[in-house]
Amino acid sequence: MLSASVGSGTFVSYDALSNAYLLEDTKPKHLIEMGATLPDNSSYEPLIIQLKSMLQETDYDKWFGYGRPGESLWQKDAAIKLIRKGGFETTVDQILFANGGQNAIAATLAGLCKPGDRIGADHHTYPGLKTVAAMLNVQIIPIKSENYEMSPSSFEEACKNDNIKGIYLIPDYHNPTASFVSVENRKKIAAIAKKYNQFIIEDASYHLLGKKPLPAVASFAPEQVIYIASLSKSLAPGLRLAYVTVPSQFKEPISKALYNLNITVSPLLAELTARTIVSNQFEVLIESHREQTILRNQAVNRYLGDYTCLGGETGIFRWLLLPGEITGAEFETLAAKHGVQVYAAERFVVGNRSPERAVRISVCATKTLEELEQGLMILKGLLNEFS
């Protein structure tokens, strides 16, 4: 697809070439699912036990009405406990609830941006940001990376020259490249945000996957950062819950946006999550996910060890750099023909920046380790053809 802007000529808009909606309406038939980023589904027992216990209580019907903010104070205490585990200290008055990370991103952009506003993001970024920005007519400006980390100097340049209002950042297990922002660069990015009064949307969806999370960017600029602790990747996507820490200067517009989008989150799911956290069962759940993830990444390393497959043992996806001249989009199509769903770099690229020749591989989306190994064997066979 060709795009044009005044003074820039005509260029290929790579992000218009590929579907950014990653969760298909139905599970791909006859395909081994290695596209969607899901935690393993064998670790949910603590949630099931907690839910059964809740439904035995005499006043269980209260969880099927509307929740009210005043009734959620203890749930916010639970949120603080979980966020602390991810490397950030916050307070009850800064916590808002959203129906998952995507919902929190949508509310933040709706609350803080007007149509035509600009925000910065990595050269490859979470496609959910792209779809929300397109819906709200917010433009995403790609900010250069160095060694797969957002470059602080490029962020400052964008503040000066590109009229951006803020940035979107995934500092841990970046989606899709599985990289981390160093503590030094977190501090620099936070300092620049303060200097230019930029907001930062810190997507902390993956903070809890590692054993020792790095300090959040929000800990270096708490007055500038909207910190989104989604529970979809660390606990369970079906909870549809994210805890959002919002600085006081942004709280009213984001709170109003969340109300207009949701009215409320599910009281049942909010209570279930809070009890799972306060009882410390969430730590059992996270550790169980982590053990499964490490096993699966060991399988990835065994099968794809001859190729550059970025990402660590506790990440739920990897970034596979392709050999030869094949593009990500071509490899995605080829893999699907051979029965495996992976996602090409073209789905993640921002604007007219050229995508890497790479695909994202989800390591926990298959139901079993055996199914994952079957998919990896197919991918290895295809990769060998291009080496």
- CB under 8 Å to 329, separation ≥6 — which residues? 17, 18, 344, 345, 346
pLDDT digits (tens, 9 = 90+) for 42-95: 667 778 888 888 888 888 888 787 776 556 888 999 999 999 988 899 999 999
Name the phi and psi angles at 173, rounded to 5. 50, 60
Task: Give yes or no: residues 204 and 116 share one domain.
Answer: yes
pLDDT at position 318 is: 97
Report the distance separating Cα 117 and Cα 221, nearest Å: 22
Contact criterion met (CB below 8 Å) for 315 and 293: yes
User: What average pLDDT does this structure show over 331-354?
Assistant: 94
Domain-ending residue, one of 248, 281, 314:
281
pLDDT reading at 268 higher than 90: no
Lookup: tokens for 253: 């517009």
Task: Give yes or no: residues 148 and 212 share one domain.
Answer: yes
Task: Give yes or no: residues 220 and 83 share one domain.
Answer: yes
The lowest-confidence range among 211-220, 272-281, 339-348 is 272-281
How far CA 226 is from CA of 79, 101, 219, 380, in Å, comes to: 15, 12, 11, 40
pLDDT at position 283 is: 83
pLDDT reading at 304 higher than 80: yes
In a domain, 50, yes or no: no
**340-341 and 32-33: which strand pairing?**
parallel
Task: Give yes or no: residues 80 and 205 share one domain.
Answer: yes
Contact criterion met (CB below 8 Å) for 200 and 224: yes
Range of the domain at 28: 2-43+283-386
User: What average pLDDT does this structure show over 217-222?
Assistant: 96
pLDDT digits (tens, 9 = 90+) for 154-185: 999 999 999 999 999 999 999 999 999 999 99
Task: Give yes or no: residues 87 and 143 share one domain.
Answer: yes
Name the phi and psi angles at 12, rounded to 5. -80, 125
In a domain, 159, yes or no: yes
pLDDT at position 40 is: 67
H or E element, residue 121 = strand 118-122
**166-169 and 2-5: which strand pairing?**
unpaired
* Residue 27 binned pLDDT confidence (cut-offs 50, 70, 90): low
In a domain, 252, yes or no: yes
Q: Pick the closest to residue 237 from 43, 72, 77, 95 (CA basis).
A: 43
CATH number of the domain where residue 165 is located: 3.40.640.10
pLDDT at position 11 is: 36
pLDDT reading at 140 higher than 50: yes
Amino acid at 176: P
- The terminus-to-terminus CA distance of the chain in angstroms comes to 30
pLDDT at position 49 is: 83
pLDDT reading at 201 higher than 60: yes
Contact criterion met (CB below 8 Å) for 352 and 20: no
pLDDT at position 70 is: 59
* Residue 320 binned pLDDT confidence (cut-offs 50, 70, 90): very high
pLDDT at position 297 is: 97
pLDDT at position 8 is: 41
The total domain count for the chain is: 2
In a domain, 359, yes or no: yes
Contact criterion met (CB below 8 Å) for 232 and 310: no
In a domain, 320, yes or no: yes
Q: Which residue matches tokens 């169980």?
A: 288
Report the distance separating Cα 4 and Cα 301, nearest Å: 42
| pTM of the entire predicted model | 0.89
Report the distance separating Cα 81 and Cα 26, nearest Å: 35
Residue 91 C-alpha from the chain's centroid = 23
Task: Give yes or no: residues 252 and 331 share one domain.
Answer: no
Report the distance separating Cα 209 and Cα 297, nearest Å: 13
Domain-ending residue, one of 246, 281, 316:
281
Report the distance separating Cα 202 and Cα 234, nearest Å: 16
Task: Give yes or no: residues 382 and 316 share one domain.
Answer: yes
Q: Is 98 exposed, middle or buried (0-12, 13-18, 19+ CB in 10 A)?
A: buried
Task: Give yes or no: residues 148 and 294 share one domain.
Answer: no
Task: Give yes or no: residues 14 and 74 share one domain.
Answer: no
Task: Give yes or no: residues 80 and 169 share one domain.
Answer: yes
Report the distance separating Cα 335 and Cα 382, nearest Å: 8
pLDDT reading at 246 higher than 90: yes
In a domain, 48, yes or no: no
**9-12 and 2-5: which strand pairing?**
antiparallel
- CB under 8 Å to 195, separation ≥6 — which residues? 156, 159
pLDDT at position 25 is: 52
Domain-ending residue, one of 237, 256, 281:
281
The pairs formed by 221-224 with CB atoms below 8 angstroms and a separation of 24 or more are 221/190, 221/191, 221/193, 221/194, 222/90, 222/247, 223/194, 223/247, 223/248, 223/249, 224/190, 224/193, 224/194, 224/197, 224/198, 224/199, 224/200
Task: Give yes or no: residues 258 and 290 share one domain.
Answer: no
Mean pLDDT of the chain: 88
CATH number of the domain where residue 12 is located: 3.90.1150.10
User: What average pLDDT does this structure show over 262-288?
Assistant: 86
Task: Give yes or no: residues 269 and 300 share one domain.
Answer: no
pLDDT at position 16 is: 46
Which residues face 358 on adjacent strands?
Answer: 321
In 69-149, where does DSSP find H-type helix?
Answer: 73-85, 101-112, 127-136
In a domain, 227, yes or no: yes
Residue, of 212 and 161, whose pLDDT is higher: 161
Residue, of 233 and 21, whose pLDDT is higher: 233
In a domain, 331, yes or no: yes
Q: Which residue matches tokens 């909606």?
A: 21
